[in-house]
Amino acid sequence: MQPFVIHKGRAATIMLNNIDTDIIIPKQYLKRIERTGFGEFLFDEWRYNDDRTLNPNFELNKQSNNDVSILITGENFGCGSSREHAPWALTDYGFKVIIAGSFADIFYNNAFKNGLLPIRLDKKSRDELSLLSKNAELTVDLENEKVIVGSQEFSFSVEKPLKNKLLLGLDDISLTLKHEDKILAYEAAAK
Amino acid sequence: MSKTLLDKLWEQHVISGEVGEEQLLYIDLHLLHEVTSPQAFEGLRFSNRKVRRPENTFATMDHNVPTKNPEVIEDEIAEKQLSALRNNCQEFGVHLEDITSYNQGIIHVIGPELGLTLPGKTIVCGDSHTSTHGAFGALAFGIGTSEVEHVLATQTLWQRKPKTIGIRLEGKLQPGVYSKDVILHILAKYGVSFGTGHVIEFFGSTVTNFTMDERMTLCNMAIEGGAKAGLVAPDNVTFEYLKDKVTGDFDAAVEKWSRLYTDDISLYDQLLEVNVNEVAPHFTWGTNPSMGISIDDKLPEITDENDRRAFEYMGLNPLMSPDEIKIDNVFIGSCTNSRISDLLIAAEVVKGRKVNENVTAIVVPGSKEVQREALKLGLDKVFTEAGFEWREPGCSMCLAMNPDKVASGKRCASTSNRNFEGRQGKGARTHLVSPAMAAIAAVYGHFVDVRKELSNATICNS
Ligand code: SF4
């Protein structure tokens, strides 16, 4: 996994509460055999008309939002099923950061496993950020737990172990591989 | 210090971590099938990792495989999953028993058959019925796709040690009653979650007298009681089964394996006792494996909302008697009951009889090896002459992922392990039974007591 230290990027806002994993990625796309390639189907029902043309009214389809990597949204983002396909779809689309009022538990953990940073901010901050982000790039500084835009700063907090994993770009497997000497010793003894 | 079998297996595999917390366990054998592995391999590729121990990793195709003309796969998604496994195994150097390979079969049938499943091993697979392999005194359990990737990359897993339940089985089964009935009886008595957070060790005189096939049926369904794994301590029956399957110094292996038992049964966190003398043939009437009754009983009364929903889904009424339940399909197969001994039992029951005109019945051997043995014994003829269809190995009608499905509203007597809503197809109604009960239901078109149908001269349940 790529380390996440500082991310600079543009943000889009979908200020709705309870965006569930079915909306993020509908179940008819779960039969894929890859972990990648889900981005095309992100927010599928909102993003496309019935004839698969783009719905011009959907936020992400607007010209101004064609290179966003940060999503500002409402409460309880990612509720519903446990599918890891939800963070897979968001990262595959290009998102690196989700700023919400709160997150569903499983989604929150799944996000970290996939290098996606979920940030909790209150409504007032999110509204301000949303306005400011219309014309400016945001800087997300994980080390110092700040979102910066122009001269404004918004502080957030992230659980230590999860933060460290992201900062160092460690996934569970990399962490286990830090025990490589012990695994090797075990294998040698078992022979 | 005295220890349980689980203690011994656990301690032999801990690499790191404190007692009472998550500990890093070494995994000796990793089994793969086509459904739960593609994203795990994709993950490896994405992070530029290898399979750490391809020699300890083994794959086959079972869930999606059509059992009629297995070479022709019409379902595009199934075909994609199968060829993904083929490509992944090739790329990462993992041994694969492909659809047409000599040893193909249901992963939990061929692991033991090929001598991969051995006492004292830790065995995982992205599949909950991995508990089957516990019959050999191996610590075997199912894992999710992220964990599959973790094991592929590191040959280890972080785990918290489960507690133990000892189930002592004493007594002798009546003719016509089998280990399937015993496990259905246990589930009916203790429910589908009594084993949560535990490993169940089966022991006692009944288990000692069980064959490996019978022990596998027990452990296979330990997961239906919510347990992480099932266990039986290895003994002479185990060693006899393995004698011709392992290479190397067998005596030394046996000496090591012989130490794998629970020193003192007071060490179990819980102890349950079951007298099997009185266990009758069982069948499930509802929508989870604990909703089962003895063939001597009538269907239960409705006691709660779960019962009400189950009756409604199953299209049955309280207090019906078993012979009022009309059967449309019979499925003899699955990792619970598709071994040669299961087919022998079913064949004895149907020999010289005919499948009822209202019933569609199929027999699906668990592996190519079981199929070859059955052909040698002429079992395929016994079945086809009676009106069964004789199929190629695979998971088949156990789950609705390949062409073998039960139609909506139809009722199936099945030797598999799960009777959840929709498990055998949308709206399908599943009754879990032993191979003997399934076979006799095929003949009558409804449930009957198989004990009354056996000529004692030919049948004994060894
Ligand atoms: S036979 Fe059924 S339970 Fe066994 S592995 Fe196949 S699908 Fe799973």
- Whole-angstrom Cα distance, residue B46 to residue A91? 13
| CB-CB neighbours of A10 under 10 Å | 17
Asked whether A70 and A97 are in contact (CB, 8 A), the reply is: yes
- Whole-angstrom Cα distance, residue B291 to residue B189? 9
A82/B contact by beta carbon, under 8 A: no
Region A100-112 average pLDDT: 85
pLDDT at A180: 96
B155/A contact by beta carbon, under 8 A: yes
Q: Would you call B149 and A183 a contact, using CB atoms and an 8 Å cutoff? A: no
pLDDT digits (tens, 9 = 90+) for A73-88: 999 898 875 567 889 8
Q: Side chain identity at A21, as an amino acid letter? A: T
Q: Which residues line ligand 1 (CB under 6 A)?
A: B 62-63, 106, 108, 127, 129, 334-335, 395, 398-399, 416-417
- CA nearest B43: which of A78, A113, A43? A113
Question: What distance in angstroms lies between residue B141's CA and the mean position of ligand 1's atoms?
Answer: 14
Contacts of A182 in chain B (CB under 8 A): 15-16, 24
- Whole-angstrom Cα distance, residue B228 to residue B66? 30
How far, CA to CA in Å, does B323 sit from each of B364, B445, B447? 25, 9, 5
Kindly state the percentage of chain B with pLDDT values over 90.
86
B145/A contact by beta carbon, under 8 A: yes
- Whole-angstrom Cα distance, residue B412 to residue B417? 13
- CA nearest B442: which of B334, B353, B359, B362? B359
Question: What distance in angstroms lies between residue B202's CA and the mean position of ligand 1's atoms?
Answer: 22
In this predicted model, which residue has the larger pLDDT, A111 or B216? B216
- CA nearest B359: which of B448, B444, B418? B444
CA dihedral (A68, A70, A74, A78) positive or negative: positive
Q: Would you call A36 and B24 a contact, using CB atoms and an 8 Å cutoff? A: no
3-state helix, strand, coil in chain B (%, to 5): 35, 20, 45
Nearest-10 Cα torsion for B68, B70, B75, B76: -170
Q: The tokens of B217 are what? A: 């049926």
pTM over 0.90: no
| CB-CB neighbours of B19 under 10 Å | 9
pLDDT digits (tens, 9 = 90+) for B414-431: 999 999 888 898 889 999
**pLDDT tier, B316 (very low <50, low <70, confident <90, very high otherwise):** very high
Question: How far, rounded to the nearest angstrom, does the alpha carbon of residue B197 sit from its chain's CA centroid?
Answer: 20
pLDDT digits (tens, 9 = 90+) for B371-419: 999 999 999 999 999 999 999 999 999 988 889 999 999 999 999 999 9
- Whole-angstrom Cα distance, residue A101 to residue B374? 62
For residue A10, list its beta bridge partners: A68
- CA nearest A109: which of A172, A167, A42? A172
Of residues A113, A172, A179, nearest to B16 (C-beta)? A179
Closest atom, ligand 1, to C-alpha of B401: 7
How far, CA to CA in Å, does A184 sit from each of A188, A191, B22, B155, B183? 6, 11, 20, 11, 40
pLDDT digits (tens, 9 = 90+) for B11-51: 999 999 999 888 999 999 999 999 889 999 999 998 899 99
Q: Is the confidence at residue B67, as pLDDT, over 90?
A: yes
3-state helix, strand, coil in chain A (%, to 5): 40, 20, 40
For residue A152, list its beta bridge partners: A149
Q: Would you call B154 and A177 a contact, using CB atoms and an 8 Å cutoff? A: yes
- Whole-angstrom Cα distance, residue B220 to residue B272? 18
Question: What distance in angstroms lies between residue B107's CA and the mean position of ligand 1's atoms?
Answer: 8
Q: Nearest residue of A to residue B76 by CA position? A: A31
A184/B contact by beta carbon, under 8 A: no
A183/B contact by beta carbon, under 8 A: yes
Of residues A33, A172, A186, nearest to B38 (C-beta)? A33
A33/B contact by beta carbon, under 8 A: yes
- Whole-angstrom Cα distance, residue B146 to residue B454? 49
Strand B429-432 and strand B411-414: pairing?
A: parallel
pLDDT digits (tens, 9 = 90+) for A17-51: 888 887 898 755 666 787 788 999 999 989 999 89
Burial of A161 (0-12, 13-18, 19+ CB in 10 A): exposed
Question: What distance in angstroms lies between residue B130's CA and the mean position of ligand 1's atoms?
Answer: 9
Q: Please give the DSSP secondary-structure letter assigned to residue B161.
A: P
The CA-CA-CA angle for residues A106, B149, B158, to 5°, reads 70
Residues 156-195 of chain B with CB under 8 A from chain A are 156, 158
| CB-CB neighbours of B293 under 10 Å | 19
The three state secondary structure string of B378-415 is: CHHHHHHHHCCEECCCCCHHHCCCCCCCCCCCCEEEEC
Q: Please give the DSSP secondary-structure letter assigned to residue B453.
A: G
- Whole-angstrom Cα distance, residue A26 to residue A7? 28
CATH class of the domain comprising A6-190? alpha beta
Q: In chain B, what is the greatest distance between 2 CA atoms, to the nearest angstrom?
A: 63
Who contacts B278 (Cβ-Cβ below 8 Å, separation ≥6)?
A: B171
Q: Is the confidence at residue A138, as pLDDT, over 80?
A: yes
Question: What distance in angstroms lies between residue B127's CA and the mean position of ligand 1's atoms?
Answer: 8
Enter the ipTM. 0.91
pLDDT at A169: 87
pLDDT at A27: 58
- Whole-angstrom Cα distance, residue A122 to residue A100? 8
Asked whether A149 and A130 are in contact (CB, 8 A), the reply is: no
